[in-house]
Amino acid sequence: MSRRNAARVCAIVVAGACAAVAVAGAAWLLPLGRETRQTPFAGPRKDSRWAVDDSRAPVVRELALRQARVWAPPPDPSTADLAANPRDSDGNLSGDVVRCRYLDGPHEGTTPKFDCVLPNGEIVKVKYGSTTEIQGELAASRFLTALGFGADRMFLVHHVRCFGCLRSPYYAARLLDSLHLREAVQSHVPDDRYSDFEWAAVERRFEGREIVSYDRQGWGWWELDRIDPSRGANWAERDALRLASMVIAHSDNKPSNQRLVCETVRDASDICPRPFALIHDLGDTFGLNNGGLAQWKKARIWKNRERCAVIMREFPDDSATFPERYISEEGRQLLARELRTLNDAQIEALFVSTRITRSASGNGNADAWVQTMRDKIHEIVDGPPCPETAALAASPAL
């Protein structure tokens, strides 16, 4: 056999072996469970964005940002059940098993997750696996919501039954994309086949349409300075949000991890009358991605308590979009008033129910987590008033 023919045969054998491995791998990824549903899933609802023509989008976003709220007076935080999932008005996220249909799309970020369609057509995001972002988002969203700040509604679900899901859809999509096989494999998943995911976090987005601009995604913390206090959040509310983010150590605060939404129903105008700015991605909180309890414990609230200065530069993401700020006494008092009402039983329930104490970096010590939270609350509640000039030092020219 000539060298050319030998090389050709070798190439054919290698190609055949690769194809066989790819086919076997794709078959292994197929879901194993089977269940016949009596009622089909509704079609996915349309994207709830505040769509504006590109030529107007920057102006609409800028106006919304200048009028955005960041806080609303909550019910008495002392009555908040921090061990419970948010209220589930339609019942689709209640019960031991939540059923949904896989919605294929681009994979983003580094955390195992996928979009799924509930029986009524609502699209939710499911995070699964051993990532500590599940525990962080659950605890941080409950904590911020109880204090009056915005956050997505995060549900801890014992079983998510995803019809059309490959065994590990996030990693499977990445693998199949590299082999250019995703569409072919996904199209061959039978409608009655499912994969189960235990102790998953299901994200139901904060009410409102997302306000986006082609040149901006989310918002950076330095942009809070641009809010007009006569039309949007005042200085106290913004400073309270800054302090709350220090409590939970929301260090990965790049713009895409915050969201600007409109809380009203869309009418003929493209101007949002009720914009709200909230933290969107709370996965990197409480130090869970960077040492757990020990990391969270050593992250102090104040850079300088006498001047009431805060900064996140010591955190792993080097403060991201969070610049040094002087907190006003009004802002400290606003957050302190809400924090004073929380008791140790609520705080313990927060960490135990969200399984933080069971996570890889949770140390299994609920008392230590409660004490660390209590120490951070004391840092804000106790001590002398913040200087009256603090807010002026941070004030932008509006």
Residue with tokens 């899933």: 41
183-226: per-residue pLDDT in tens?
Answer: 888 888 998 999 999 999 999 999 999 998 888 889 999 999 99
Residues 6+ apart with CB under 8 A from 359: 132, 135, 288, 292
Residue with tokens 């490959």: 166
Lowest mean pLDDT among 15-19, 26-30, 64-68, 284-288: 15-19
Lowest mean pLDDT among 126-135, 144-153, 173-182: 173-182
Lowest mean pLDDT among 30-34, 94-98, 109-113: 30-34
pTM: 0.89
11-37: per-residue pLDDT in tens?
Answer: 444 444 444 444 544 556 778 788 888
Please give the pLDDT value at position 389.
55
Please give the pLDDT value at position 5.
55
312-366: per-residue pLDDT in tens?
Answer: 887 766 567 998 999 999 999 999 999 999 999 999 999 999 999 987 777 778 9
- For 74, phi then psi, to 5°, come to -90, 165
Give 304's strand partners: 309
Please give the pLDDT value at position 138.
97
Q: Residue 234: pLDDT above 50?
A: yes
Which tokens belong to 95? 């019960």
DSSP β-ladder status, 153-163 and 97-103: parallel
Residues shown for the chain: 398
Residue 17, SS3 per DSSP: helix
Q: Quote the strand ranges of 248-371, DSSP E.
A: 258-262, 275-279, 309-310, 325-326
CB atoms within 10 A of CB 365: 12
Please give the pLDDT value at position 397.
36
Lowest mean pLDDT among 160-164, 177-181, 231-235: 177-181
Residue with tokens 């059923």: 99
Residue 4, SS3 per DSSP: helix
Residue type for 242, please?
R
Q: Highest mean pLDDT range out of 17-31, 53-67, 132-146?
A: 132-146
CA dihedral 175, 181, 185, 187 (to 10 degrees): 130
